[in-house]
């Protein structure tokens, strides 16, 4: 039997008309930026199942053509509502129609992207990624964040969209200037208009689609900690392609937690681009029901004397499916590189599935590069030990799953965010027997 050539996701909605609508009334610099990105986007092929990266995420999971592109939210002075906002020096809240910025820090600049384009760093990343280019052209809610040298600044960005058939394109461009320190926590939430579950029942009118494209420029000697909490509701489809470039002696700590979403496809690329640059990429994901969580990471060493360490830990239950693909790239001449990548997966029942696909592309020698992957179930001897101390089996399992994720949760510096992650993991385990 002949297998038809797999087709990519339908992106026909993202055409010149849609771009013109978004650009209407915008300043010339905005229109120029969108137009340039659109050209790039149009030139890139639509990824499909023939591409290794999309092999496990068939196009039918992402029926984006069924969604209407959302309008850009307007500025508002409404009082903020985000939980734990007092722990932060600045908070951006973004909803369907309004956004609100509250900034108490003198060393942090926050501007809507449209206003900031004139002052953007000249090196907006040129991308080869279709969805990153889509985000650069079609962003519906964009912000430019600039951290200046000084004491660490804490910023919370709260994205909350209603599941009402719209497609949102959030975008952050973050510049952490030389010797600046920024802790950025992003929460991504979907608000259901009706009760949804991580099951097969689904229709686009009561669902949410999101395509994200963030970029992070970490300057010389600067530090960025970025925590992304994907707490999407059960109807949400999310594709995000984020990129970071870390200059000499700079450091990026990047923690991605995926707990919600019907289908989530994330790519996180981090280039340690100057001598002494360090990146720590950490991931936590926990899928249940029929959730599909597909993640790709790229640790790129474009400079010698650079370090990147990665730890992604996931768990799958029910009929959910997770995919992790990791790539370490060392450019020619990137000597004295220290690169490490580890992916671990817990499969909690038969029927759940976790795929782990690590890869290396090394053009240099004189480097330390290792990767590993381990997929298994909970250790029966650990369960027995806890039960022998009176702890019921279900509770023992919950305790061990929570313990398994502690290693990643410990990478987050903010205690309130750590607790939020623990609570989210606990919630995922609630119905676990």
Using CB under 8 A as the criterion, which residues of the chain lie in contact with other proteins when the complex forms?
379-382, 384-393, 395, 399-400, 402-407
Pick the closer one to other proteins by CB: 32 or 403.
Answer: 403
The conformation of residue 126, written as its DSSP 8-state character, comes to P
Under 8 Å between Cβ of 208 and 163 = yes
Smallest gap, in angstroms, from Cβ of residue 408 to other proteins?
A: 10
Under 8 Å between Cβ of 431 and 398 = no
Smallest gap, in angstroms, from Cβ of residue 428 to other proteins?
A: 16
**Three-state DSSP class for residue 281:** strand
Smallest gap, in angstroms, from Cβ of residue 374 to other proteins?
A: 14
Q: How far is CA 382 from CA 284, 286, 388, 432, in A?
A: 22, 21, 10, 17
Smallest gap, in angstroms, from Cβ of residue 385 to other proteins?
A: 5
Q: What does the alpha-carbon distance between residue 189 and residue 231 come to, in Å, rounded to a whole number?
A: 5
Smallest gap, in angstroms, from Cβ of residue 392 to other proteins?
A: 5
CA trace torsion 391, 394, 395, 401 (10° rounding): 130
How does 82-112 read in b/e, with b if 16+ C-beta sit within 10 Å? Answer: bebeeebbbbbbbbbeebbbbbebebbbbbb
Smallest gap, in angstroms, from Cβ of residue 389 to other proteins?
A: 4
Pick the closer one to other proteins by CB: 7 or 385.
Answer: 385
Pick the closer one to other proteins by CB: 75 or 384.
Answer: 384
| Centroid of chain to Cα 94 | 17
Pick the closer one to other proteins by CB: 25 or 390.
Answer: 390
Under 8 Å between Cβ of 247 and 276 = no
Q: What does the alpha-carbon distance between residue 375 and residue 370 come to, in Å, rounded to a whole number?
A: 17
Percentages of the chain per state (helix, strand, coil), in multiples of 5: 20, 40, 35
Smallest gap, in angstroms, from Cβ of residue 402 to other proteins?
A: 7
Q: How far is CA 291 from CA 225, 233, 235, 341, 343, in A?
A: 28, 11, 10, 25, 19
Pick the closer one to other proteins by CB: 5 or 381.
Answer: 381
Residues in CB range of 105: below 8 A, 6 or more apart: 89, 90, 153
Pick the closer one to other proteins by CB: 350 or 381.
Answer: 381
Smallest gap, in angstroms, from Cβ of residue 429 to other proteins?
A: 14
Pick the closer one to other proteins by CB: 275 or 386.
Answer: 386
What's the per-residue H, E or C state across 291-322? CEEEEEEEEEECCCCCEEEEEEEEEECCCCEE
Pick the closer one to other proteins by CB: 86 or 393.
Answer: 393
Structure tokens at 250: 């700079």
Pick the closer one to other proteins by CB: 45 or 390.
Answer: 390
Q: What does the alpha-carbon distance between residue 75 and residue 178 come to, in Å, rounded to a whole number?
A: 30
Smallest gap, in angstroms, from Cβ of residue 125 to other proteins?
A: 36
Pick the closer one to other proteins by CB: 363 or 393.
Answer: 393
- Of 218, 198, 299, 217, the closest CA to residue 258 belongs to 198
Smallest gap, in angstroms, from Cβ of residue 410 to other proteins?
A: 9
């Amino acid at each position: 039997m002949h297998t038809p050539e797999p087709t990519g996701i339908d992106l026909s909605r993202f055409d010149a008309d849609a771009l013109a609508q978004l650009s209407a009334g915008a300043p010339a610099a905005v229109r120029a930026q969108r137009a340039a990105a659109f050209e790039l986007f149009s030139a890139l092929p639509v990824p499909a199942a023939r591409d290794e990266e999309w092999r496990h995420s068939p196009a039918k999971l992402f029926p984006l053509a069924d969604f209407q592109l959302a309008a850009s939210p307007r500025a508002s002075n409404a009082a903020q509502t985000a939980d734990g906002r007092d722990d932060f020096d600045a908070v951006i809240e973004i909803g369907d129609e309004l956004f609100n910025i509250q900034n108490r820090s003198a060393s942090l600049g926050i501007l809507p992207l449209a206003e900031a384009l004139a002052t953007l760093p000249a090196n907006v990343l040129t991308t080869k990624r279709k969805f990153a280019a889509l985000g650069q052209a079609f962003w519906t809610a964009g912000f430019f964040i600039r951290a200046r040298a000084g004491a660490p600044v804490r910023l919370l960005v709260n994205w909350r969209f209603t599941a009402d058939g719209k497609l949102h394109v959030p975008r952050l461009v973050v510049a952490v200037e030389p010797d600046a320190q920024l802790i950025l926590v992003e929460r991504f939430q979907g608000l259901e208009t009706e009760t949804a579950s991580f099951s097969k029942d689904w229709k686009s009118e009561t669902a949410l689609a999101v395509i994200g494209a963030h970029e992070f420029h970490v300057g010389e000697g600067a530090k960025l900690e970025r925590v992304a909490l994907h707490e999407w509701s059960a109807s949400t489809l999310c594709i995000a392609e984020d990129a970071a470039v870390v200059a000499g002696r700079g450091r990026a700590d990047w923690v991605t937690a995926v707990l919600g979403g019907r289908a989530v496809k994330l790519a996180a690329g981090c280039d340690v681009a100057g001598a002494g640059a360090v990146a720590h990429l950490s991931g936590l994901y926990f899928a249940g029901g029929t959730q599909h969580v597909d993640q790709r990471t790229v640790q790129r060493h474009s400079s010698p004397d650079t370090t990147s360490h990665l730890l992604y830990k996931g768990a799958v239950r029910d009929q959910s499916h997770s995919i992790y693909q990791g790539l370490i790239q060392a450019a020619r001449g990137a000597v004295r590189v220290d690169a490490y990548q580890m992916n671990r997966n817990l499969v909690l029942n038969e029927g759940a599935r976790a795929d782990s696909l690590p890869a290396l592309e090394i053009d240099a020698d004189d480097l330390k590069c290792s990767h590993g992957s381990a997929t298994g179930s909970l250790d029966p001897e650990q369960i027995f030990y806890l039960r022998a101390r009176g702890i019921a089996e279900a509770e023992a399992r919950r305790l061990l799953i929570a313990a398994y994720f502690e290693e990643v949760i410990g990478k987050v510096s903010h205690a309130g965010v750590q607790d939020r992650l623990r609570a989210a993991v606990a919630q995922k385990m609630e119905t676990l027997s």
